[in-house]
Chains A and B, each alone.
Chain A
Amino acid sequence: MPLLYPLLLAAALFGVGLYGVLARRNAVLMLLGVELMLNAVNLNLVAFDAWFADAMHTGQVLTLFTITLAAAEIGLGLAIVLALYRAVRTIDVDRVGEDV
């Protein structure tokens, strides 16, 4: 399989995720965009690992670490979003701080 296929897929997913983070108004959906960008990075790591045939499996082990960190990040992020919701009763990032 050409190495370019997964790399171009990752570039496209990263672009979509970037759009989601910048354009979404809901804080939870911004976190979804971050997850999409992290997945694009994972795709790159796995593709380069398979291409390089690394004896230490660097890319795939780092992918596992990234998945773990993403799980920790989404847990903390959602806790912060829930705290924000309890404080100002909205998670609309455009309206937070306008009228508390």
Chain B
Amino acid sequence: MTLAELVFLVLAVIAVGSALLSMTSGQLVHSALWLVVTLGAVAGCFLLMTAEFVAWVQVLVYVGSVVVLVIFALMLTRQSTGEKSAEVTGNRWLAAILGVVAAIGLGATMIAGFRGEEIEGRRIGTAGSIGHALFTDWVLPFEILSGVLLAALVGAIVISRSGSDR
């Protein structure tokens, strides 16, 4: 086992463990902060799979802004009645069974289909190579995506404003 595989396995354990803590923690803010650990570990996995640009975008967008947004939303909607809102619903065992079944089913499919394949890392996803691919082969989707982002921005503002008028 190479060093990269060892580091990947450690990161995988950290990611799954903190994801479980994030989804089961009774404290709302702890839940969001455990998600930071998960997303950071996944960014490390991206780095080990030679996708360095995607890894830094993950750190910037997810760890940097999405989690901050979530924490703001948690604080804005904090309920004075206490910590009951952090609890899970009554069908948590059904949800747990479904989650385990989904993970096992997906994992079994992956094992059946891709056992023995190796990632060799022949093409490294540097900022240069990704940018070249983005602005030659993927220009049209890139531009459409900028329209989607603008629509989401306007939509978020409209939804927030129409609520405050009432």
Residues of A within 8 A of B (CB): 1-20, 22-26, 28-29, 31-33, 35-36, 39, 42-43, 46-47, 49-51, 53-57, 60-61, 63-65, 67-76, 78-83, 85-87, 90-94
Interface set, chain B 1-59, CB cutoff 8 A to A: 2, 4-5, 8-9, 12, 15-16, 19-20, 22-23, 28, 31-32, 35, 38-39, 42, 45-46, 48-51, 53-54, 57-58
- A2, A4, A25, A70: the one contacting B66 at CB < 8 Å is A70
Q: How far is the CB of B153 from chain A (nearest CB, A)?
A: 7
Most buried by A among B5, B119, B142: B119
| Interface of B, helix, strand, loop or mixed by DSSP | helix
Question: Residue-by-residue, is B76-98 near A (CB-CB < 8 Å gives 1, otherwise 0)?
Answer: 11010000111111111011101
A–B pairs, 26, beta carbons within 8 Å: A8-B110, A9-B16, A9-B45, A11-B107, A14-B102, A14-B106, A15-B103, A17-B23, A18-B102, A19-B99, A20-B23, A22-B89, A22-B94, A23-B92, A26-B86, A36-B35, A46-B125, A47-B119, A57-B125, A61-B134, A71-B149, A75-B69, A79-B160, A82-B160, A92-B84, A94-B89
| Interface of A, helix, strand, loop or mixed by DSSP | helix
Complex Cα–Cα for A76 and B16 (A): 27
Contact status A5-B8, CB under 8 Å: yes
Q: How far is the CB of B9 from chain A (nearest CB, A)?
A: 7
- B54, B86, B116: the one contacting A46 at CB < 8 Å is B54
